[in-house]
């Protein structure tokens, strides 16, 4: 993650990563049989603000044209 990034809520500059668990998965639109992708959240360790979310398997969102 960008080292120059600052939290917009508290100005913190240290971040951790967390994974959404349970049934939380991101599914491609129009692909009914896809298992989806897990989601990683980048979190400010000072205030808990989620800076960004990222798909673990981004390749499943590509069109198969």
Q: Are 60 and 40 in contact (CB under 8 A)?
A: no
Q: Are 55 and 37 in contact (CB under 8 A)?
A: yes
Is pTM beyond 0.85 here? no
% the chain with pLDDT above 70: 91
Domain assignments of the chain as residue spans, ordered by start: 15-61
- pLDDT tier for residue 2 given thresholds of 50, 70 and 90: low
User: How far is it, in rounded angstroms, from Cα 4 to Cα 26?
Assistant: 28
HEC-encoded secondary structure of 5-64? CCCCCCCCCCEEEEECCCCCCECCCCCCCCCCECEEEEEECCCCCEEEEEECCHHHHCCC
């Amino acid at each position: 993650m960008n080292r120059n990034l600052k939290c917009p809520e508290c100005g913190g500059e240290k971040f951790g990563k967390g994974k959404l668990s349970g049934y939380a998965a991101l599914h491609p639109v129009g692909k009914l049989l896809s298992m989806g992708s897990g989601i990683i959240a980048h979190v400010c360790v000072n205030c808990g603000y989620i800076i960004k979310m990222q798909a673990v398997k981004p390749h499943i969102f590509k069109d198969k044209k």
